[in-house]
């Protein structure tokens, strides 16, 4: 009887456990979305296998470059990171997928587990435009300076505009002005006159300018507005000073 018990114990003790599937713990990019074209985006997978089998990884891309179809970005290998080297064809949103397998279950045509990262955005490199924000107290069309005396202050009409060789690439300009002015948020400039706006003011303040190009890019410029020197220069040149309090 003792021998029978020993054999039964041996049968129970030496049952071979089935090989278990690997699993994905995390799948993340090295750089957060969005990124500009030309940036290599690293995609790293953290995975584990209960049996310590070698894990193999396969990466896929689905986006503008692949015309909306899943294509292999990096074929099966034991390397748990893949680099997506972006270019102009990647501009827009893409999905990235990883497959893993340990070679004990699914064959090379399929996988043991997968995970996706959706809607990673690649943007165009911002246009490098030869454009600056400027201001003056008069214009080429009207060489007069307009003012209004208010107590001890003199409020002067000022022109804010763009200058530079790339103005023809600009679609829209918004000027964010001092809160004390009328319509301080997002005043649109006139595209027919160097994207100018006119304001009445008595002092200087910083201006935030958002320039939208014809390709849809937004470029932000900051400008410290001050008109004292412009006013003094105009008076030295003999520019007419006209009172216009009712304007």
Cα gap 228→231, rounded to integer Å: 5
Same fold, 17-123 and 132-243: yes
Average pLDDT for the chain: 88
**What is the predicted pLDDT for the residue at 6?**
47
Cα gap 44→103, rounded to integer Å: 20
Average pLDDT over residues 140-146: 89
Domain extent listing, the chain? 17-123, 132-243
Flag whether pLDDT at 2 surpasses 50: no
pLDDT tier for residue 156 given thresholds of 50, 70 and 90 = very high
Between 18 and 124, name the one with better pLDDT: 18
Three-state DSSP state, 222: strand
pLDDT exceeding 90 applies to what percent of the chain? 66
Domain spanning 17-123: which superfamily? Immunoglobulins (2.60.40.10)
The b-or-e profile of 153-181 (16+ CB within 10 A means b, else e) is eebbbbbbbbeeeebebbeebbbbbeeee
For residue range 86-123, list pLDDT tens digits in order: 998 999 999 999 999 999 999 999 999 999 999 999 98
Cα gap 146→201, rounded to integer Å: 11
Average pLDDT over residues 152-180: 90
Flag whether pLDDT at 135 surpasses 90: yes
Average pLDDT over residues 210-224: 87
Which architecture, in CATH terms, is 132-243?
A: Sandwich (2.60)
């Amino acid at each position: 009887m003792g021998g029978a018990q020993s054999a039964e114990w041996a049968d129970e003790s030496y049952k071979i456990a089935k090989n278990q599937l690997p699993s994905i713990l995390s799948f993340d990019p090295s750089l957060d979305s969005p990124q500009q074209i030309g940036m290599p985006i690293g995609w790293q997978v953290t995975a584990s296998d209960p049996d310590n089998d070698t894990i193999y990884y396969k990466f896929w891309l689905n986006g503008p470059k692949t015309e909306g179809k899943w294509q292999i970005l990096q074929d099966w290998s034991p390397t748990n990171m893949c680099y997506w080297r972006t270019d102009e064809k990647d501009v827009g949103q893409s999905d990235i997928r990883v497959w893993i397998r340990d070679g004990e279950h699914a064959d090379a045509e399929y996988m043991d587990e997968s995970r996706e990262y959706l809607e990673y955005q690649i943007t165009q490199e911002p246009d490098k435009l030869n454009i600056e924000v400027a201001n003056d107290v008069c214009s080429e069309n009207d060489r007069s300076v307009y003012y209004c005396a208010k107590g001890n202050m003199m409020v002067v009409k000022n022109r804010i505009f763009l200058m530079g060789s790339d103005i023809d690439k600009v679609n829209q300009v918004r000027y964010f002005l001092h809160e004390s002015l009328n319509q301080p948020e997002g005043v649109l400039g006139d595209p027919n006159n160097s994207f100018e706006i006119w304001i009445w003011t008595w002092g200087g303040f910083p201006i935030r300018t958002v320039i939208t190009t014809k390709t849809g890019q937004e470029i932000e410029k900051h400008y410290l507005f001050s008109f004292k020197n412009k006013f003094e220069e105009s008076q030295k040149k003999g520019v007419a000073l006209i009172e216009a309090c009712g304007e």
